[in-house]
Structures are given as C-alpha cells and as structure tokens.
Structure 1
Amino acid sequence: MSIRLASNCNNCENLSSNGVCKVHGVKVNDSYTCDTFEMKAALKDNRNCDSCLRYETTDCANPQKAAPGMLCSHWAPQSANA
C-alpha cells in the first residue's frame, strides 16, 4: 500500500492556523475537502528510516535492514508539515 498525502483540508493552503477555511469561513478538519482545495506549495520531503514513524519499533517491516538513509515501501511519516 502506498502512502499519499490526501486532498483534504489539512493539506490545503486555505486552512488557517485555527482550523477555519479561509474560503468558506467554517471550521473544518481532515475529513473535509472541497472543489476549491489548493495543495500547500511546498511539503518537506525527507523520506527515509530517520523520518519513519515505524523506525526501530515492532511495526518496522524490515528491522534487520532498516538504517538511516534507507527507504522502503512501508515508510510512514512522523509528521506531514508544510
């Protein structure tokens, strides 16, 4: 299964810091999306074991091979900040 950023309000440039949509003027969360969705311009893309939520945990798919700088298909972001 691939990990992708969702086209939802959390990734929209129209979301204000207090969780209110700048276009519609309503409080939203990550379950919402709309036709005026605009993806945030720049997302940090540091995908490897160091930035994986599963690194050095029992959820790691490749515990014998995982190492800083390595990337596998089971990578899970620690956070998705723009």
Structure 2
Amino acid sequence: MEVKLAECCGNCENHLTGSVCSVQEIVTSENQVCEAYEFRAVLHRESDCLKCSKFQTENCAHPKKASEGMLCTVWQPRAIA
C-alpha cells in the first residue's frame, strides 16, 4: 500500500490565511477537498534533499547540486510508512 499526503484543503495552495479558498471563495476547513486542489509545497529547515522523493532520481531538478542541507522549489516529501 502506498502512503500519500491527503489531497485536502490543509495541503492546498488555494487555501489562504483565514481558511478561505481562493478558487471557491468560501470559508473552508483543512479536511475538505475539491477538484481545484493544488499541492502547497512548504519548506522547512528539515526539508532538505535527503528527505525529498526526487533525490537521486531522474526527476531531480538539480542532480549535481542535490545534497544534505539543500532546498529547492521542486521539493516533494518522501512517503514515510
């Protein structure tokens, strides 16, 4: 079984401050979801290449630079089961 991030408002870039959806123009909760879902990449100091699902794959945007402590805009979290 593959573990994925939930495609819900809490992980959507359309879910704005104040729990308002910029697409639906309504107040939403983090547990709701709609067809306009767009993943929101949130980087933290702990979100480096070693924890990226694209690290050392052909999908890595910067394979020659990717290393511990590095971050980039295409970072995707690894599925942890």
* TM-score normalized with structure 1 length: 0.47
Larger fraction in strand:
2
Greater Rg over alpha carbons, structure: 1
